Structure 1
């Protein structure tokens, strides 16, 4: 039966039959994006799978449990063969290194705590890959992210996933309105990850029981320091661990081994109070430690803001919102005070511990699920 293009939209929001709707699916090789591709192919869409090779293919083949590794490329290709749609592998190694890995290393050397997965979405997947999808004459691009794209009075809006435990909105705040118009997130409404795995089993996918990736794709076993030392030889110069009151408490083997808020692994014993990393002084090579209450802050400077509200951010002197300052933290009530179109100060209504330069500050609707964008925390405390 033909689709009534005057009154009916297909499930991706286009007024034409699924068979005439081309959708590029970004396939990482994991269960989520594989289910998206299988689901859309089953619904009759013209699916094209694309997988990015983001770093050395030979080295990646031996690495398990990470996005876009060699094994994952094989798994994505196998799913495409099983479900009968074309699949392409694109070599983005140089782009990925320039746009993500180099900044990751330099940010750590500057004493920040970067989030490379956000930069990858912003600068690679939702930029270069999205343009590739347009070059393939796609109507849209779909991903396996757990987030929702809902249509509001002024167009597409970004909303949290139905499953709060799987919500990936923190990592997608740089998504622009123009990108959001082209993107689709078919898993965002699902109640749980088990629902995704159930679909994988229903479609007979070979990756149905594949474990989720845990580490940053180019950081084996979460060992950031060894990666940075390889990228920036000499980065792990030793220095002093200094108490906030000026006392030298010990030596360290490189500032890159520490992050703001860290308590374990400081290598200083015999103290009567628990101490935390409260600041990193890169120029002096000092790891500054202090009591937990020194981590608390209510003022968060934010820049490089991507705003997704209906009205311009600067149209009001302040906004009542909630914010996340780490991906693992719950959202907290806050006041956003714009300075310019891309810079603002966020006042947390209750103090937050461990706010760190290099992390994202993501803006949410106070009552509801909508994401208003976010920016980067840029100054120490």
Structure 2
């Protein structure tokens, strides 16, 4: 089968492509040019150095490789949304949008164009087919699991996606890369958002053509008492306690960002907790569950998950009522629903 292998220049996509080649598939490696990086040698997936590594890996494996220019689409669907969300006082999750629009949107279209039957990536997740229905499951390596970022995928997309390393652990991936002498075998992983390699979100938002700053405003407590001044709401996120710029004795956390008044509300760890949240733009991988269904819900990628009742609100949103309080719920992040290891859907936190 002809397969388009998405090549980021990292060890995971390298091994994914290698396994497909060993398995007898006709593999074509494709790297996405997503941004014009202004910082030479930046260690991100938008950098030319990573695309060069991808090309060298494909040469090692013995497969064709080429680059697609998706910069305009990436700016429209991912970067602009990222900037807009931060300026609106929300905490975006650009990796989810990149998966939806780029890897399993634009790359699937590219696969159709070249006659490939599937797109393969180095995601730590699994797709299992059962009677013509496709189930999206966590990766076997729960530490590296990336299923949270894939909740927007539909059945048609899942039918054309391969996750060759989803059944493996990271240590196994490194061992395979080492055994085959791949140049990426010891390449470190990037922990930052790919288009912000220095991890300075605030400066990126301020310097972006569609960005800027709402300006300084007040830090207040939950009663409205002014505690100090902040340097712009885009510099803070729910649950943050470091980098506030001042001390008020008892440890304080960002518990709310009020864009209407340009105020950031600080409070205790207890005030950061809630037992009920609302979500919008809900996407289902499987059939929508009945009202009141008990689900396991992850409110961020690193969250272990908490049981919650699911209740449709009738206006396109839904309420999640948790059995136990959850902490640091950030509007703009995703709440992803699980049934055991299976992703059944998710939505965006209001």
Question: Does TM, scored on the shorter chain, surpass 0.5?
Answer: yes
Match for residue 374 of structure 1 among 329, 346, 350:
346
Structure 1 residue 341 displacement after superposition: 9.5
Q: Distance in 2 between matches of 1:156 and 1:264?
A: 42
Over the aligned positions, Cα root-mean-square deviation in angstroms equals 1.5
Q: 1:74 to 1:341 in 2, by over 3 A?
A: farther
Unaligned 5+ residue runs, structure 1? Answer: 1-20
Cα deviation digits, residues 94-137 of structure 1 (max 9, x gap) = 11001000010010000000011111111111111111111111
* Correspondence 1:87-126 to 2 at 5 A: 87-126=65-104
* Correspondence 1:161-240 to 2 at 5 A: 161-190=139-168, 192-231=169-208, 232=210, 234-235=212-213, 237-240=215-218
Q: Distance in 2 between matches of 1:340 and 1:308?
A: 20
Q: 1:175 to 1:336 in 2, by over 3 A?
A: same
* Correspondence 1:1-381 to 2 at 5 A: 21-56=1-36, 59=38, 61-64=40-43, 66-153=44-131, 155-190=133-168, 192-231=169-208, 232=210, 234-235=212-213, 237-269=215-247, 271-309=248-286, 311-313=287-289, 316-339=290-313, 343-365=317-339, 368-378=340-350
TM-score by length of 1: 0.88
Unaligned 5+ residue runs, structure 2? Answer: none
Q: Distance in 2 between matches of 1:278 and 1:254?
A: 16
Q: Count residues in correspondence.
A: 349
CA contact (8 A) 1:249 1:268 kept: no
Compare 115-124 and 148-157 and name the one that shifted more: 148-157
Structure 1 residue 75 displacement after superposition: 0.4
CA contact (8 A) 2:205 2:212 kept: no
Q: Distance in 1 between matches of 2:112 and 2:103?
A: 13
Structure 1 residue 360 displacement after superposition: 0.3
Q: Distance in 2 between matches of 1:153 and 1:37?
A: 27
Higher RCO by CA contacts (8 Å cutoff, separation 6 or greater) = 2
Q: Distance in 2 between matches of 1:146 and 1:283?
A: 40
Structure 1 residue 340 displacement after superposition: 5.1
Q: Find the structure with the greater CA-based Rg.
A: 1
Q: 1:247 to 1:230 in 2, by over 3 A?
A: same
Structure 1 residue 205 displacement after superposition: 0.9
Q: 1:99 to 1:78 in 2, by over 3 A?
A: same
